[in-house]
Amino acid sequence: MKIGMISGEYPPMPGGVGDFTRMLSHRLMRHGHDVRLLCRAGCKDELLPMSTVASWGFGGAASVRAWARRIQPDVVNLQFQTAAYDMSPWVHFLPGFINAPFVTTFHDLRFPYLFPKAGRLRDWIVRRLARASAGVITTNQEDEAGLQALSRRRVIPIGSSIAPLTVSVERREQIRQTLGALSGSFVLGHFGFLNALKGIDHLLEAMAGLRRSGRDLRLVFIGGARGDHGTSKANDYAAHLDAEIERLGLGDAVWWTGYLDEAEVAVWLGAVDLVALPFADGASYRRSSLMAAVALGCAILTTQPAFATPAFRHGDNLWLAKPRSAEAIAEGIRALMTNSERLCQLRNGARQLRHSFAWERIAKETADFYREVAGGAR
């Protein structure tokens, strides 16, 4: 099958959509499919035939149509997240520019900023894209619930770009010594970009309360550092966290690794006792940091999903706490740090869960959906 893949971002550009597109495209090629990528200038991939557009405005839409005519794909798949396309409204009209079965993968169905007072137009333009597509893929239950009216849709989760890695006892102890962790210390790890929806304020409150009760807790922020976030809003939030850490007296118990490559992220996540991801809006398939921790078989404390997610089972493969509650997070940490058997169960459960998010499975389910859509479009 010849597949035309469109993505607004792609390595070496940072961004989860680009990483997902690269991993999926490579797996599809391994399965024998002919994948052609369209992205913006500056993207690179020695394995994947690639074309570029100068912008995603009206001229970009015309370029997309010319590209599709040139490659004659059996199906086109748009990897959609509004911000990846410079907030361009024209991206929402691409199905009408292409004479081939068109599939849209929604990485985020939250509605885009278009212009001041756009109001209902923001909702309409995203749903128009969904309705105009021959098939729709969502990566999580939240977005799937918003597209119930569409007959041809599928939930296919994202996978992790971080490969599983066994951490030696020596390397694990070296990392823990760097953190000042003693033999009786319990080390928490947080991974991912910092923003208010990550629930970090509640984690810090929980940690401070446990330390006041005599628990020796340490927390390491893996893969990022203060002032390392690229936008003034993100940097303001990092400054807020600094102030909270000082207010709570956690300065000597918190560590920041700074930027790490994927292999080192895997090493550090493998060295902590518990990965803490207390999302304020609940655990979700859309959270790449959660998918990474699952892929690495970590013991994970996160928060109860906002939508029913049968794959997430409390006490089996994840410890699920009430969102936005320092008390619930503290209760979970307390229960786990004193019970090595529970931690072992969570690690074993995560290793089983990761099969649901394996790239081979994602690629197969995606290709099967392409065939369904292409067959239905004839």
Whether residue 338 contacts residue 186, with contact meaning beta carbons closer than 8 Å, is answered with no
Give the SS3 label for residue 125: helix
Whether residue 130 contacts residue 91, with contact meaning beta carbons closer than 8 Å, is answered with no
Compute CA distances 283 → 67, 80, 297, 298, 325, whole Å.
Answer: 38, 21, 17, 15, 14
CA 216/CA 22 separation, integer angstroms: 41
Amino acid (one-letter) located at 156:
I
Compute CA distances 293 → 89, 106, 271, 284, whole Å.
Answer: 35, 23, 12, 13
pLDDT of residue 121: 52
CA neighbor of 318 nearest in space, from 281, 356, 345, 338: 345
CA 188/CA 179 separation, integer angstroms: 11
User: Dihedral through CA 307, CA 310, CA 315, CA 321, nearest 10?
Assistant: 0
pLDDT of residue 174: 94
Tokens of 182: 């003693």
CA 293/CA 299 separation, integer angstroms: 8
Please state the separation of Cα 58 from the chain's center in Å.
29
DSSP at 116: T
How far apart are the two ends of the chain, measured CA to CA in Å?
15
Neighbours of 86 (CB within 10 A): 13
pLDDT of residue 14: 80
Mean pLDDT per block of 10 residues along the chain (378 residues) reads 96 89 97 96 93 89 94 97 82 93 88 44 75 94 85 92 89 94 94 92 98 96 64 78 96 93 94 97 94 96 95 97 98 96 97 95 97 82
pLDDT of residue 120: 47
Tokens of 115: 């212009």
Whether residue 265 contacts residue 292, with contact meaning beta carbons closer than 8 Å, is answered with yes
DSSP at 99: S
Measure the CA angle with vertex 229, ends 223 and 235; round to 5°. 125
pLDDT tens digits, one per residue of 195-206? 899 999 999 999
Whether residue 230 contacts residue 195, with contact meaning beta carbons closer than 8 Å, is answered with no
pLDDT of residue 134: 96
CA neighbor of 126 nearest in space, from 98, 91, 151: 91
CA 185/CA 200 separation, integer angstroms: 20
CA 223/CA 238 separation, integer angstroms: 14
Compute and round to an integer the Cα radius of gyration of the chain. Answer: 22
Element (H, E) at 52: strand 50-53
